[in-house]
Structures are given as C-alpha cells and as structure tokens.
C-alpha cells in the first residue's frame, strides 16, 4: 500500500492529463489546430520558395553588375564613380518563418559618388504570385492565431464547469483549487507547446533544406524560447480568467478583448504614437536638408570653395611650390577625395539623426509592451530571424562603407597618376582591377548582436509570464473562497 502511494502520480499531473484528453476529444479545437498548422506550413513552404528565389535573383543581379562594370574598359575613374554600382542585401534563411520587415524594406542600393542613395527594390512592390501569400506567416500564426486558439480551448475550463456544478463536486471530493488550476494550466500549456513544436519542426526542416549554418539553428532556438514564454502568458491568463469569472461568456469576452487589444490594436496604434512623438522627415525633405548642407561644402568640382582653397594653399606650402601642376601628385584626385569625405560626413550626420529618431520610436513602442506582450514578442522574433530594421541598417552601413572605400580607391588612383601632358588628355584606366581589390561581403546580424539588442524584450516576456502565473495562483485562492 505504501509502495503504491509512493509511486502514485501527482494529482497535478493527473489533472493535466485529463485536461489534455478533453481537449483532444474536442473535434472543433482539433480541426482548428490542424487547419492553422496546415496553413502555417503552406506559408512556410511558399516563404522558403520566395527566399530561395530572392537569393538566386540577387546573386544573378550581383554577377550582372560585376559583368557590366568589368565591360567598361579603360575609363576615367571618376566617371566610373558617377556611373555607379548596385549592391544587394543578404537573404536571411529564417525570413521564410518570420518575414518581419524584409518585404517592406529595400533590397538593393545604388552606389554613386557624392551621394548616399536610399534602398530600393522592395519585394512587396514586385507583386509576384508567390509573394501574395506572405501576409500569413508561421510567426504571425504563433503571435496572433495561437493565442486565440488557447483562449478558445481554455475559457470554459472553470467557468463552464462552475455553471454545470461539476466544479463543486471536484472540490468536494478533496481536490484543492490550486491543484485544479495548475494541473489544467499544465495541460493547456502542454497543448500550446505541442503546437509550437510543430512550427519549430517545420522551421528546422526549412533550415535543413536551405543548408543553413549552426547560427541559424541558434536563432531558431532563441525564437522558440521567446514564443514559449509568450504562449505561457496566454495560457496562464486564460486559466486565471476562467477561474475568476462566474460565467463562460464573461470569461470569453474579457479574454477576447485582451487578445484583440494585445495582438491587433496596440501593434497598430503604437507606431502611430511613436511617429507623432518623434517625427521623421519625408524622403524629399531629408534630401533637401542634405543638399542644403552639401552645397555649402566641398563638391570636388568647385575650386572656389573656401575649404578646398585652404587645402590647396596648405599643400602648396607643404611642398614649397607655387602651382598645383608642380605638386608631386594629381591635385584633381586630392580634391575629389577631400570632397567625397565632406559629402559623406554630411550624409552620415543626417542619417545618424534619422536613425536616432527611429531608435526613439522603437523605445516608445517598447513601452507599450507593459500592456501588450506582443510588443515584446514581435521585435524578439524579427531580430533573431534577421528581418528587423537593425538588420536592414547593418546592410545600409556596410553598403555605405563599401561605397566610400570604392569611390576613394578610384579617386586615389587619379591622385597617384599625375598627367604628363599638362592635363590635356583625360586620364583613363581599367577600373575593374581597382574594384576587384574592394570586396562587398554583406551579412546579417549575429545571434550575439540580436541578443545584445533584444535582451530587454526577453526580460519583459519573462515578467509577463511570472505575473500571469501569479495571477493564476491568485485566481485559485479566489476560486476556493467563492465556490
């Protein structure tokens, strides 16, 4: 007798097992869960096809850009600077799981001298048939649909039994309200984590097909931890509200109101409020502001510019000559290098100000995570998928570094090749050899970089989980008193 009682299952686990059995027997919930999984898997498959197509297209475009550059032949290096090159953003494998902002941000940048062009070629503008299914993603299903499934599966767990007088019978038989609450919470959470497991398995299959690196596996693991906490929040709130409210209708209305506000309303209101508090200029206004400052700086073509005149006087004095023709290098190249640095500094100052405003908007939106766990879950998911604005900004920064290095390498070639005919003939050279020495190797943010930027959101999700569990425990004590 003692041996049997020692090996008897925990009452909490017994309740959890019974709750799982009841949910499995509910045909409506089972069919709805299967439908969501099938839709998400279909979205994941089309997302993977889209990501692979983008990777092929961008590789082909990169090769074509190099071919055109190599075919220029002997040209003036600064003329080549103005003809420009195009670079393309890397494709994140997990964009098939979490497209994030990747469809709304430009995928290429045209690189030219004296200018930092905005990104272009947004995937959403392509309108291809395969991209029309991108609105429903596996990540969106976990962020929006899965919480709704949890609510539909759990809102009657206590309120429904209270109405049918079964709850009094269970408590009268000796089971404590805490055992019932946490047993059913474990059952509901297990079911939701099983749903999460199906999504993660599909994500692993996606990475395997894409022959992704170990880093991508770490990203998926980090995303899974975040989603686990996120779903736990909704499970705990659902159980707590069901135990707290006397009727199933009141529990359902309350839970649906929180779900709608958290997953649909606040994620749309928060960006508008953030933009209102920290406005950013329109594209024409931004370009006008840069142009206004740039025209008062060095253009590289205007010898009357005071700063360029000061540079010329300094070099003439340094080399003890009276004319730029007597300098041991080509002053035209020096002026171009100087002008490029000044225009780049101007653009960098304005972009830093713009990105600072974006950072302030992000902070405002994060503040809304106090009332919406979705506002912490979404940036966490996008960051580890490599489809957030930070990944796009990394691409822009690397594109600008490459642009500046390439332009200055071409300008420096002019500096090192002083004309021997008094500057009558235009200097020409094979610019492809110079370009080959400057490589563009884009990357997406590493898991460590994503963690450094997003650890506060994981903390917020953890606090939400702890508070919701405490709410469920408090609801259990209330259940004992009112039943």
Of the two residues 404 and 49, the one the predictor is more confident about is 404
Classified as helix, coil or strand, 341 is helix
Whether residue 376 is predicted with pLDDT greater than 90 in this model: the reply is yes
Q: Strand 108-112 to strand 429-430: parallel, antiparallel, or no bridges (unpaired)?
A: unpaired
Whether residue 128 is predicted with pLDDT greater than 70 in this model: the reply is no
pLDDT at position 419, please? 76
CA torsion angle for 304, 307, 308, 314 (degrees, to 10)?
A: 120
Do the Cβ atoms of 314 and 274 come closer than 8 Å? no
pLDDT at position 261, please? 96
Of the two residues 170 and 327, the one the predictor is more confident about is 327
Instruction: Report which DSSP code applies to 89.
Output: P
Q: Is 144 left (phi over 0), alpha (psi -120 to 50) or beta?
A: alpha
pLDDT at position 168, please? 56
Alpha helices in 121-213 (DSSP H): 138-140, 146-154, 159-163, 166-172, 177-209
- Give backbone dihedrals phi and psi of 400, rounded to 5 degrees, phi first: -70, -40
- Distance between CA atoms of residues 364 and 265, nearest Å: 16
pLDDT at position 332, please? 86
pLDDT at position 130, please? 37
pLDDT at position 2, please? 44
In this prediction, residues 213-230 reach a mean pLDDT of 93
pLDDT at position 4, please? 45
pLDDT at position 127, please? 44
Greatest pairwise CA separation for the chain in angstroms: 110
Classified as helix, coil or strand, 97 is coil
- Distance between CA atoms of residues 387 and 107, nearest Å: 12
Whether residue 129 is predicted with pLDDT greater than 60 in this model: the reply is no
Whether residue 400 is predicted with pLDDT greater than 90 in this model: the reply is yes
pLDDT at position 253, please? 94
CA–CA–CA angle 7, 13, 14 (5° rounding): 85
Tell which residue, 390, 378, 392, 398, has the closest CA to residue 453: 390
Instruction: Report which DSSP code applies to 134.
Output: T
- Distance between CA atoms of residues 92 and 89, nearest Å: 9
List Cα–Cα distances, 206 to 57, 142, 427, in angstroms: 19, 17, 52
Tell which residue, 159, 148, 161, 188, has the closest CA to residue 250: 159
Q: Strand 74-75 to strand 85-88: parallel, antiparallel, or no bridges (unpaired)?
A: unpaired
- Give backbone dihedrals phi and psi of 106, rounded to 5 degrees, phi first: -60, 150
Judged by average pLDDT, the poorest of 304-318, 342-356, 396-410 is 304-318
Domain ranges of the chain: 8-482
Judged by average pLDDT, the poorest of 25-34, 142-151, 219-228, 346-355 is 25-34
Q: In angstroms, what is the C-alpha Rg of the chain?
A: 31
Judged by average pLDDT, the poorest of 119-123, 183-187, 225-229 is 119-123
Residue carrying structure tokens 């069919």: 31
In this prediction, residues 373-399 reach a mean pLDDT of 94
- Distance between CA atoms of residues 218 and 201, nearest Å: 14
CA torsion angle for 202, 203, 209, 212 (degrees, to 10)?
A: -160
Q: What percent of the chain has pLDDT over 70?
A: 85
* pLDDT, tens digit (0-9, with 9 covering 90-100), for 253-293: 999 999 999 999 999 999 999 999 999 888 788 888 887 77
Q: What is the DSSP string of 363-388?
A: HHHHHGGGT-THHHHHHHHHHHHT-S
Helix H or strand E encompassing 75: strand 74-75
Of the two residues 461 and 208, the one the predictor is more confident about is 461
Q: Strand 74-75 to strand 115-116: parallel, antiparallel, or no bridges (unpaired)?
A: unpaired
3-state secondary structure 390-459: HHHHHHHHHHHHHHHHHHHHHHHHHHHCCCCCCCCCCCCEEHHHHHHCCCCCCCCCCHHHHHHHHHHHHH
In this prediction, residues 361-385 reach a mean pLDDT of 95
- Distance between CA atoms of residues 237 and 468, nearest Å: 6
């Amino acid at each position: 007798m003692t041996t049997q009682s020692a090996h008897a299952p925990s009452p909490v686990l017994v309740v959890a097992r019974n709750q799982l059995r009841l949910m499995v027997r509910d045909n409506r919930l089972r069919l709805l869960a299967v439908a969501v999984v099938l839709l998400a898997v279909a979205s994941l498959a089309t997302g993977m096809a889209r990501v692979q197509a983008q990777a092929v297209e961008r590789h082909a475009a990169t090769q074509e850009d190099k071919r055109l550059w190599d075919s220029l032949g002997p040209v003036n290096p600064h003329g080549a600077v103005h003809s420009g090159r195009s670079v393309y953003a890397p494709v994140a494998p997990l964009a098939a799981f979490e497209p994030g902002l990747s469809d709304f941000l430009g995928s290429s940048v045209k690189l030219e001298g004296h200018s930092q062009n905005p990104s272009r070629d947004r995937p959403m503008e392509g309108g291809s048939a395969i991209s029309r299914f991108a609105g429903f993603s596996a990540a969106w299903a976990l962020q929006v649909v899965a919480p709704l499934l949890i609510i539909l599966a759990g809102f009657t767990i206590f309120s429904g039994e209270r109405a049918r007088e079964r709850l009094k019978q269970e408590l009268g038989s000796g089971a404590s309200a805490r055992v019932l609450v946490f047993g059913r919470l474990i059952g509901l959470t297990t079911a939701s984590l099983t749903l999460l497991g199906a999504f993660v398995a599909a994500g692993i299959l996606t990475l395997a097909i894409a022959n992704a690196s170990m880093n991508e596996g770490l990203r998926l693991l980090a995303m899974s931890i975040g989603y686990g906490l996120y779903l736990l929040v909704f499970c705990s709130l659902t159980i707590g509200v069901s135990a707290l409210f006397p009727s199933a209708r009141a529990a359902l209305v309350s839970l649906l109101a929180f779900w709608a506000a958290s997953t649909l309303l606040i994620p749309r209101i928060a960006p508008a409020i953030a933009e209102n508090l920290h406005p950013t200029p329109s594209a024409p206004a931004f370009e006008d502001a840069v142009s206004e400052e740039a025209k008062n700086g060095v253009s590289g073509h205007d010898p009357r510019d005071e700063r360029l005149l000061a540079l010329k006087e300094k070099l003439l004095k340094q080399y003890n000559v009276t004319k730029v023709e007597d300098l041991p290098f080509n002053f035209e190249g020096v002026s171009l290098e100087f002008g490029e640095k000044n225009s780049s500094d101007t653009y960098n100052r304005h972009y830093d100000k713009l990105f600072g405003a974006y950072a302030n908007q992000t902070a405002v939106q994060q503040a809304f995570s106090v009332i919406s766990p979705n506002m912490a879950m979404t940036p966490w998911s996008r960051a580890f998928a490599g489809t957030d604005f930070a990944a796009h900004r990394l691409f822009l920064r690397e594109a600008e570094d490459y642009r500046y290095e390439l332009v200055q390498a071409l300008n420096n070639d002019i500096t090192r090749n002083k004309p021997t005919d008094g500057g009558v003939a235009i200097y020409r050279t094979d610019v492809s050899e110079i370009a080959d020495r400057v490589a563009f190797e884009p990357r997406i943010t590493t898991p460590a970089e994503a963690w450094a930027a997003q650890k506060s959101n994981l903390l917020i999700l953890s606090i939400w989980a702890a508070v919701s569990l405490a709410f469920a425990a408090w609801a259990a004590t209330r259940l004992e008193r009112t039943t």
